[in-house]
Amino acid sequence: MKAWLPSLLRLAVVVLLVAFVTNPGWFEPLLKPLTENNAPVIYNQGSLLTLTLLHLRTVLIATVAATIVAVALAILVTRPAGAEFLPLSRSLVNIGQTFPPVAVLALAVPAVGFGEKPTLIALFLYGLLPIFENALTGLTTLPASVMEAARGAGMTGWQRLTKVELPLSAPIILGGIRLSVVISLATATIGSTVAAKTLGEVIIAGLLSNNLAFILQGGLIVAALAVLIYDGLSAIERYTVRRMGREAE
Amino acid sequence: MTPRLDKLGVVIAAISAYAAFAAPFATFRANRIVPGQARSIIEALPATTGPLLLVIIVVAALIALFKTPLALRLAASVVALAALALLIGIAGTFLTPAGNTFARISPASGFWILIFAFTLLLADVLTRLNLSPLARVGVLVVAALAIGLLLISGSWNDLSILKEYANRADSFWAEGSKHVTLALGSLLAAVVVGLPLGILCHRVERLRAGVLNVLNIIQTIPSIALFGLLIAPLGWVAAHVPGAAALGIRGIGTAPAFVALFLYSLLPVVANTVVGLAGVPRAANDAARGMGMTDRQRLFGVEFPLAFPVILTGIRVVLVQNIGLATIAALIGGGGFGVFVFQGVGQTAMDLVLLGAVPTVALAFAAAIILDAVIEMTATKRRDETA
């Protein structure tokens, strides 16, 4: 494959995505064959752009919160003071991953009510696990010689953490964040079953009125967002790998 | 000598103190959808059992708080969990007014937090005991038997989740078997297609990137959209391919859910097969070639057995993921435990949500423990053989 082809494809996806969410009317003839009985072709109960931005906002808030908590926890259990919690936290992560997102979402409703909040909770909890796991891997697999050198150079515990351990683990932690974002982007659509304003609204409207055009546009926007964000984060990751000389896995 | 504090114990003691003395133990509602009234442990239980439960919780929390032998901690967590499980049923009976069939009693936040706290203690003990894979499955079986006994004995019958169950006993098992069929059936189909595809990708390098990229992109399509998108093609197949409709292929219902789960399952199976085969040591392959093994013999006699634990890891990911995703099938009429979840969300009847969510979580959890044990056993067996 030629080197410029992926970049060109990426650019095409960006252009199409922006054009679609800002001017969905242009694409009406393309989607028209998918509808029956003169049903509306483009989602008409809200602007696609607003829903896309709300969708991204929900994912962003949940991911930022999950990153802060997961990395803080991983740092805590890898310090001597928190070492006692390490085996337990490992098994909790394993257990946590078996909880289906729909169940988390539905169970959060009685506690916080309908709307954006249960979605944020589900995305936050679900996003925690990959980031925590990767942060733990990153912090526990540092080369012993590097740690030794840092100690020998007279660095304090805090300096070692911020100047050596975290920068060296950054690529692996980023890998976890990337995984978590892609999962969250898709899971956020389920949030619309509990009345959160996300792109899931478009898909569910399509399911309820048997309108394939709605399902397709909602699904494709989310998929395009996920592919682009995945690519973007992978690029950042490769950049940090080059700087740190360490790779995930 | 002053007894030393256990760090995790401090956390457990703090949250269980809050849950036992400040949070509600059970919720009383006049019917299934009105807001409930909170009842503390003392209010929710008969005069003697309430204080008894508090004593058990305090003693167990104290055992957790200090550095105590593992056996004592194990006993404390098991006794506390058993007491909670038994007494929430008694609270249900005690709080239900005689002859009233509308009143609903459900466990409240205090109960759930206490369960969480002592499960944490139990999980910590089990992790520190470093159990063998078989022993872990044994613990799971014992726990499942205990819960099964409690369910059969009827001691939980006055709790609202079981009242929801009593109203839907038939459909519960029907949806349950649909759920399991969907999750396992699509896994089976993915293994049947994914293994050969993975082997092909391993052998033919040109295919590898293309196939894995396509499967990766499928993963980014949100599940509800993929379910929905399959309605149209399958509907078309049902209408135009003779015999398809007779096989149960239809636009809505189980067929699109099955196909969607199958598509999601392919990536982990194919990717792990490729990774597993790539990880087979060169020396093993060279030795096999030197012995004059044919390609096929090498695949089944050397490569495949060595890659097996990695492939199993992919299957574990798929199974746990499928059990969770199958809940979404309910949105397109595919059945499964999701039916109760979404009905419950629609009626704001949280007990109904629990009726769908609890078995799903339990299934996924059991599947994860069993497959983890199998993976560990095959991996250690392999190591012993090669050592």
Q: What is the pLDDT of residue A249?
A: 44
Integer CA distances (angstroms), B201 to A189, B194, B208, in order:
32, 10, 5
Same domain for B25 and B113, yes or no, is yes
Distance in Å, alpha carbon of A14 to nearest chain B alpha carbon: 16
- Is residue B141 a part of any domain in this protein? no
Helix axes B109-129, B49-65, angle to 10 degrees: 40
Same domain for B321 and B370, yes or no, is yes
- Is residue A188 a part of any domain in this protein? yes
Q: End-to-end alpha-carbon separation of chain B, Å?
A: 48
- Is residue B145 a part of any domain in this protein? no
Q: What is the pLDDT of residue A193?
A: 83
Same domain for B114 and B259, yes or no, is no
Same domain for B196 and B300, yes or no, is yes
Same domain for B121 and B71, yes or no, is yes
Range of the domain at B61: 7-130
CATH code, domain carrying A198: 1.10.3720.10
- Is residue B375 a part of any domain in this protein? yes
Mutate one of A13, A98, A204 to test the B interface: name it (highest B CB count within 10 A): A98
Same domain for B205 and B118, yes or no, is no
Same domain for B276 and B227, yes or no, is yes
- Tally the domains of chain B: 2
Q: Which of A81, A69, A99 is nearest to A173 (CA)?
A: A69
In the block, residue with structure tokens 């056993």: B377
End position of a domain, from candidates B109, B130, B151: B130
Tokens of B266: 């392919």
Residues 6+ apart with CB under 8 A from A10: A228, A231
CATH code, domain carrying B305: 1.10.3720.10
CB contact under 8 A, A87 and B361: no
Q: Which residues of B touch A215 (CB under 8 A)?
A: 225, 228-229, 231
In the block, residue with structure tokens 């404390």: B76
pLDDT digit of tens for each residue in chain B (387 aa)?
Answer: 567 888 888 989 999 999 998 889 988 888 777 778 888 888 888 888 889 999 999 999 999 999 889 899 999 999 999 999 999 988 888 888 877 778 888 888 889 899 999 998 998 898 888 888 899 899 999 999 999 999 998 888 888 888 888 888 889 999 999 999 999 999 999 999 999 999 999 888 888 888 888 888 888 788 878 877 787 777 777 777 766 666 666 666 788 888 889 998 998 999 999 988 888 888 888 888 888 888 888 888 888 888 888 899 889 889 988 998 899 888 888 889 999 988 888 887 778 888 998 899 899 989 988 998 998 888 777 666 654
- Is residue B334 a part of any domain in this protein? yes
Q: How far apart are CA A136 and CA A87, in angstroms?
A: 11
Same domain for B126 and B176, yes or no, is no
Looking at per-residue confidence, does A184 or B3 come out higher? A184
End position of a domain, from candidates B114, B130, B146: B130
Q: What is the pLDDT of residue B214?
A: 86
Same domain for B209 and B76, yes or no, is no
- Is residue A180 a part of any domain in this protein? yes
The string of pLDDT tens digits covering residues A145-160 is 888 899 899 888 889 8
End position of a domain, from candidates B108, B130, B152: B130
Mutate one of B125, B131, B345, B363 to test the A interface: name it (highest A CB count within 10 A): B345
A231 Cα distance to chain centroid: 12
Over residues A184-211, the mean pLDDT reads 86
- DSSP character at residue B39: E
Of B231, B345, B368, the CB nearest to A98: B368
Query: DSSP letter string over chain A?
Result: --THHHHHHHHHHHHHHHHHHH-GGGGHHHHGGG--TT--SS--SS-HHHHHHHHHHHHHHHHHHHHHHHHHHHHHHHSGGGGGGHHHHHHHHHHHTTS-HHHHHHHHHHHH-SSHHHHHHHHHHHHHHHHHHHHHHHHHS--HHHHHHHHHTT--HHHIIIIIIHHHHHHHHHHHHHHHHHHHHHHHHHGGGGT--STHHHHHHHHHHT-HHHHHHHHHHHHHHHHHHHHHHHHHHHHHHHHHT----
Residues 6+ apart with CB under 8 A from B91: B25, B26, B39, B44, B45, B105
Distance in Å, alpha carbon of B357 to nearest chain A alpha carbon: 5
Of A84, A97, A207, the CB nearest to B331: A207
Helix axes A200-209, A48-78, angle to 10 degrees: 130
Q: What is the pLDDT of residue A2?
A: 61
Distance in Å, alpha carbon of A88 to nearest chain B alpha carbon: 5
Handedness of CA B129, B134, B140, B141 (dihedral sign): negative
B173-B175-B176-B181 Cα dihedral, nearest 10 degrees = 130
Q: What is the pLDDT of residue B296?
A: 84
Q: What is the pLDDT of residue B73?
A: 93
Q: Is A85 on the interface with B (CB under 8 A)?
A: yes
CB contact under 8 A, A186 and B372: no
Range of the domain at A154: 47-244
Residues 6+ apart with CB under 8 A from B224: A189, A190, A200, A203, A204, A207, B328, B331
Q: What is the pLDDT of residue B62?
A: 93
Does the pLDDT of residue A13 top 80, yes or no? yes
Q: How many CA atoms lie within 13 A of A51 on its CB side?
A: 27
Q: Which residues of A touch B5 (CB under 8 A)?
A: none
This complex has an ipTM of 0.78
State whether residue B159 is helix, strand or coil.
strand
Nearest CA in chain A to B361: A99
Q: Is A145 on the interface with B (CB under 8 A)?
A: no
- Is residue B121 a part of any domain in this protein? yes
Q: Considering chain A, what percentage of its residues have pLDDT values greater than 90?
A: 16
Of B217, B222, B332, the CB nearest to A227: B217
pTM to 2 decimals?
0.84
- Is residue B2 a part of any domain in this protein? no
Q: What is the pLDDT of residue B262?
A: 92
CB contact under 8 A, A98 and B372: no
Query: DSSP letter string over B178-199?
Result: HHHHHHHHHHHHHHHHHHHHHH
- Is residue B143 a part of any domain in this protein? no
Amino acid at A197: K
CB contact under 8 A, A99 and B364: yes
- Is residue A3 a part of any domain in this protein? no
Residue pair A191/A116 in contact by the 8 Å Cβ criterion: yes
Q: What is the pLDDT of residue B137?
A: 92
Q: How far apart are CA B111 and CA B92, in angstroms?
A: 13
**Which helix (H) or strand (E) segment is B306 a member of?**
helix B304-325
CB contact under 8 A, A110 and B225: no
- Tally the domains of chain A: 1
